[in-house]
């Protein structure tokens, strides 16, 4: 298939398999170049002025803290272990950095990709890198860590996010778990992602809005999905109480990490007699002792706070389990490293 068809196909595949579960939207325009507005500054590898920048796909969502729409101008990559080089990663990041800098100022970009350019918004870059042979996810993270920010041409105030194969596999697994939980009536289909008021940031959108999971949320140590009560369609009996699914990305190797997690949930006032809390560990390298560590953490937390009776039963009622870890397959025939013009 031609590359233009492949990119459009893979963008739709990613949107439906992963980001749809997190309430990200995608603009219909895909694989379209737009005019470079900084040709004197932006150069090709052969040092010629750039005339255009590529646009594989643009995802978007409302940020509940910033209260503006985040546009993620995304570069889709797929590689085999043999083709992964620090040079190619750095080149992709620099190309995306130039692209985002122009997108912020480009009327051509707004006209081609945006439905509404009048609302408050911010354009960021997203480098989405899949490993189609499954042999080098750790290699990517190691090579990315060796690329210093000083070697990248990221303009001031521009933001570039990176999703490598490990992060993609994690998010793919979480998205599948959310969809399966909704299909099996383990959560209601009306769910949303929880954003507590923080010391420096206050939520600008109502908690009961169907807020999307921001990219910062998805890459955090844990994030919280809130859901309504699930009723049997015929009898109207309660199948599941309203509550929270807490997706936990750490390994669960220590008791202390779970004490911190329980304390955070308590401070967010999520632990109560009416709601249920279920923790889902999604690290593929999770400790074999994570359940034992969690049970010890609940008991120690109750002992340290001298909880008794009702409050103790609320804490002890929090459950934990692991989700199935799945690996998406985005093959080289669909997307690949593209050379700059």
Separation between Cα atoms, residue 341 and residue 102, nearest integer Å = 16
What does the pLDDT read at residue 306? Answer: 93
- Low-confidence stretches of the chain (pLDDT beneath 70): 1-8, 11, 134, 136-137, 198-209, 330-341
Strand-strand pairing, 25-26 and 121-131: unpaired
What does the pLDDT read at residue 214? Answer: 96
Residues sharing a CB contact under 8 Å with residue 298, sequence separation 6 or more, in sequence order: 258, 262, 315, 316, 318
Separation between Cα atoms, residue 339 and residue 244, nearest integer Å = 45
pTM as predicted: 0.90
Q: How far is CA 258 from CA 170, 234, 298, 310, 316, in A?
A: 20, 39, 8, 21, 13
Q: How many CB atoms lie within 10 A of CB 145?
A: 8
The string of pLDDT tens digits covering residues 268-314 is: 999 999 999 999 999 989 999 999 999 999 999 999 999 988 999 99
Separation between Cα atoms, residue 192 and residue 210, nearest integer Å = 5
Q: Where are the domains of the chain?
A: 3-169, 174-322
What does the pLDDT read at residue 1? Answer: 40
Separation between Cα atoms, residue 149 and residue 61, nearest integer Å = 26
Separation between Cα atoms, residue 122 and residue 274, nearest integer Å = 39
Q: Which of 14, 26, 133, 88 is nearest to 6 (CA)?
A: 14
Helix (H, G, I), strand (E, B) or coil at 276: strand
The string of pLDDT tens digits covering residues 190-227 is: 899 999 876 555 665 556 667 899 999 999 999 999 99
First to last CA, the chain: 21
């Amino acid at each position: 298939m031609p590359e233009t068809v492949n990119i459009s196909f893979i963008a739709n595949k990613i949107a439906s398999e992963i980001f749809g579960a997190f309430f990200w939207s995608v603009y219909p325009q895909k694989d379209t170049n737009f005019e470079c507005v900084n040709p004197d500054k932006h150069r090709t590898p052969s040092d010629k002025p750039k005339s255009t920048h590529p646009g594989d796909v643009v995802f978007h969502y409302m940020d509940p803290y910033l209260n503006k729409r985040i546009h993620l101008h995304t570069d889709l990559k797929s590689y085999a272990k043999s083709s992964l080089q620090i040079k190619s990663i750095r080149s992709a990041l620099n190309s995306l950095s130039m692209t985002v800098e122009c997108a912020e100022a480009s009327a051509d970009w707004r006209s081609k990709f945006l439905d509404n350019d009048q609302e408050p918004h911010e354009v960021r870059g997203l480098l989405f890198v899949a490993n189609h042979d499954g042999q080098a996810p750790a290699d990517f993270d190691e090579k990315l860590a060796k690329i210093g920010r000083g070697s990248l041409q990221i303009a001031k105030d521009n933001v570039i996010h990176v999703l490598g194969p490990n992060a993609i596999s994690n998010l793919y697994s979480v998205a599948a778990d959310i969809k399966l939980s909704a299909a099996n009536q383990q959560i209601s289909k009306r769910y949303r992602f929880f954003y507590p008021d923080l010391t420096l940031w206050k939520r600008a959108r109502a908690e009961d809005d169907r807020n999307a999971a921001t990219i910062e949320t998805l890459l955090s140590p844990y994030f919280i999905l809130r859901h309504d009560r699930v009723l049997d369609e015929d009898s109207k009996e309660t199948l599941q109480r309203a509550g929270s699914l807490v997706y936990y990305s750490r390994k669960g190797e220590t008791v202390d990490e779970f004490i911190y997690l329980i304390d955070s949930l308590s401070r967010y006032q999520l632990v109560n007699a009416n709601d249920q809390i279920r923790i889902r560990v999604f690290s593929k390298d999770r400790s074999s002792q994570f359940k034992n560590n969690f049970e010890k953490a609940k008991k120690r937390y109750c002992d340290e706070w001298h909880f008794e009776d009702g409050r103790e039963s609320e804490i002890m009622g929090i459950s934990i389990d692991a989700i199935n870890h799945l690996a998406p397959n985005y093959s080289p025939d669909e997307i690949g490293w593209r050379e700059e013009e």
